[in-house]
């Protein structure tokens, strides 16, 4: 095992830790069994968050392990190409980089989806025994993990192996002077397999040890049989900030005040022409985290989350070109009426503030 390069010491805004994989997207829709060729891309919730944050100007580091193989090279080069510090990613000569294949259901743009008719969304993972599954609690001794304002992790890592679960347990242990620890539940039933019955309790315990938690209302229902934002807050009383995402409706945020009470803030989502739903949650987390790092009020933090999600939703892949900060800040400051009349489609992030404004007034 070797470190990719020895970096000059870099202080990050955000460290994102977790597995990324090379993913193969079908060249045409249909059953996996019938797809003759695939296009290569990369996938990984945590590196998506790091890439999105780097794209909007935050020094971001991704920590993981990849194989000493060509797929590992590709992951490192691609994530680094987005401006993320990958110098603490370990190469494992004994274990491969994880890969997965998915069918067109998840990737389809509107026209293809209709032609496909069935919207099949098979995902086949080859990640058992991957380099990243050997991540373990020894990492918490590394300065590169803590030398940052935010550490961001997700529930996916907890499912990968016992050592990965131990690592997340150690990261989410409340320790003095730690940076803000951020957790996205990302409940993936299929990953837990033989430990499926333990997953809800384990994930709840991890989330309760964090400072900022992102949970989808649907995930909370699936994992914990807990329904609605208020009930999610009851189940997760410790985090200073709890974000309950409610899909196309919006998001509700509970923020603990110094007197121990919560403020509850709801901000509606945007109307978007969805090209592919993949990656929206990661983008939302990046937008919310960026606004958190900037010290913005909670309502604006949620809106920045919605905007980054909208950027991801309007492109076919996971990673979108985010709106420039000027455009994002302009839209975040819109009145509720103007926000409500926005309709964002492909390419909207490339527009100037003035053009998006014109669309608002013409709608």
- Kindly state whether residue 281 participates in binding Mg ion, applying the rule CB under 5 A: yes
Q: Please identify, among the stretches 77-85, 105-113, 270-278, 290-298, the one whose residues bind ligand ADP according to the rule CB under 6 A.
A: 270-278
Q: Is 328 in the site for ligand ADP (CB under 6 A)?
A: no
Residues 96-135 that bind Mg ion (CB under 5 A): none
Which one of 130, 186, 292, 314 is in contact with Mg ion (CB under 5 A)? 186
Integer Cα distance of 182 and 263 in angstroms: 19
Diameter over CA atoms, the chain: 61
Residue 272 near ligand ADP by CB under 6 A: yes
Q: What are phi and psi of 232, to 5 degrees?
A: -65, -40
Binding-site member from 251, 275, 276, 320 for ligand ADP (CB under 6 A): 251
235 binds, among ligand ADP, Mg ion, none (CB under 5 to 8 A by kind): none
Q: What are phi and psi of 183, to 5 degrees?
A: -135, 125
Q: Which is nearer to ligand ADP, 247 or 345 (CB)?
A: 247
Q: Cα–Cα distance between 25 and 169 in angstroms, integer?
A: 33
CB of 85 or CB of 219, closer to ligand ADP: 219
Cβ neighbours of 169 (radius 10 Å) = 16
**For residue 176, what are its two tokens?**
């003095």
Distance CA 242, CA 74 (A): 35
Host H or E run for residue 255:
strand 250-256
Find the shortest distance in angstroms from Cβ 16 to ligand ADP.
15
Binding flag, residue 327, ligand ADP (CB under 6 A): no
Burial 253-270 (b: 16+ CB within 10 A, else e): bbbbeeeeebeebebbbb
- Give the Cα separation of 99 and 203 in Å (integer): 24
Grouping H, G, I as helix, E, B as strand and the rest as coil, residue 81 is: helix
Q: How many CA atoms lie within 13 A of 73 on its CB side?
A: 3
* Smaller CB separation from Mg ion, 150 or 356: 150
Least gap, CB of 154 to Mg ion (angstroms): 8
By beta-carbon proximity to ligand ADP, the closer residue of 98 and 279 is 279
Q: Applying CB under 5 A, does 312 fall inside the site for Mg ion?
A: no
CA distances from 144 to 13, 55, 78, 185, 232 (A): 12, 21, 20, 23, 32
Is-contact 329 308, C-beta < 8 A?
Answer: no
Show the site string, 218-247: x = touches ligand ADP by CB under 6 A, - = not. Answer: ---------------------------x-x
**List 5, 248, 263, 321, residue binding ligand ADP (CB under 6 A):** 248
Is residue 282 annotated as a catalytic residue, yes or no?
yes
Closer CB to ligand ADP, residue 114 or residue 249? 249
In the list Mg ion, ligand ADP, none, the entry touching 2 (Cβ below 5 to 8 angstroms by class) is none
Spatial CB neighbours of 73, under 8 Å, sequence gap ≥ 6 = none
The region of 47-55, 184-192, 286-294, 335-343 touching Mg ion under the rule CB under 5 A is: 184-192
Catalytic residue among 211, 282, 318, 329: 282
**Binding to ligand ADP (CB under 6 A): which residues in 200-219?**
216
Helices (H), the chain: 45-55, 70-81, 104-107, 110-116, 143-146, 155-160, 162-171, 189-192, 199-208, 217-224, 229-235, 280-293, 298-313, 325-332, 336-341, 353-362
Q: Is 270 in the site for ligand ADP (CB under 6 A)?
A: yes
* 282-301 positions binding ligand ADP, by CB under 6 A: 284
Residue closest to 172 by CA, chosen among 132, 134, 145, 199: 145
Q: CB of 180: closest distance to ligand ADP in angstroms?
A: 20
Q: Which residue is nearest to ligand ADP (CB)?
A: 281
Residues annotated as catalytic (active site), given as ranges: 282
Binding site for Mg ion (CB under 5 A): 186, 281
Binding site for ligand ADP (CB under 6 A): 216, 245, 247-248, 251, 269-270, 272, 274, 280-281, 284, 305-306, 309, 313
């Amino acid at each position: 095992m070797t470190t990719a390069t020895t970096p000059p010491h870099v202080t990050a805004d955000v460290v994102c830790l977790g597995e990324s994989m090379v993913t193969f997207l079908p060249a045409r829709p249909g059953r996996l069994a019938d797809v003759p060729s695939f296009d290569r891309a990369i996938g990984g919730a945590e590196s998506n968050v790091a890439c999105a944050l780097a794209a909007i100007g935050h020094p971001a580091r991704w920590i993981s392990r990849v194989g000493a193989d060509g797929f590992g090279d590709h992951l490192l080069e691609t994530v680094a190409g987005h401006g993320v510090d990958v110098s603490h990613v370990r190469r494992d000569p004994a274990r491969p980089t994880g890969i997965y294949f998915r069918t067109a259901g998840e990737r389809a743009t509107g026209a293809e989806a209709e032609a496909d008719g069935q919207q099949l969304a098979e995902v086949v993972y080859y990640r058992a025994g991957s380099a990243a599954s050997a991540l373990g609690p020894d990492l918490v001794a590394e300065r590169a993990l803590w030398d940052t304002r935010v550490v961001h992790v997700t529930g996916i890592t907890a499912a990968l192996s016992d050592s990965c679960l131990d690592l997340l347990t150690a990261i989410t242990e409340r320790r003095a002077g730690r940076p803000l620890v951020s957790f996205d539940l990302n409940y993936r039933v299929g990953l837990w397999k033989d430990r499926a019955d333990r997953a809800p309790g384990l994930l709840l315990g991890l989330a309760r040890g964090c400072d900022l938690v992102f949970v989808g209302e649907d995930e909370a229902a699936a994992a914990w049989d807990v329904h609605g934002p208020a009930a999610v807050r009851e189940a997760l009383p410790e985090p200073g900030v709890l974000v309950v995402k409610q899909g196309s409706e919006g998001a509700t945020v509970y923020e603990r005040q110094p007197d121990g009470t919560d403020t509850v803030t709801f901000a509606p989502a945007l109307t978007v022409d969805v090209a592919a739903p993949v990656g929206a949650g990661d983008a939302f987390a990046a937008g919310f985290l960026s606004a958190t790092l900037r010290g913005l009020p909670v309502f604006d933090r949620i809106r920045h989350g919605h905007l980054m999600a909208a950027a991801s939703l309007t492109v076919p892949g996971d990673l979108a070109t985010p709106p420039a900060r000027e455009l994002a800040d302009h839209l975040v400051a819109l009145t509720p009426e103007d926000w409500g009349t926005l309709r964002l489609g492909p390419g909207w992030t490339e527009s100037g503030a003035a053009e998006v404004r014109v669309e608002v007034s013409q709608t």
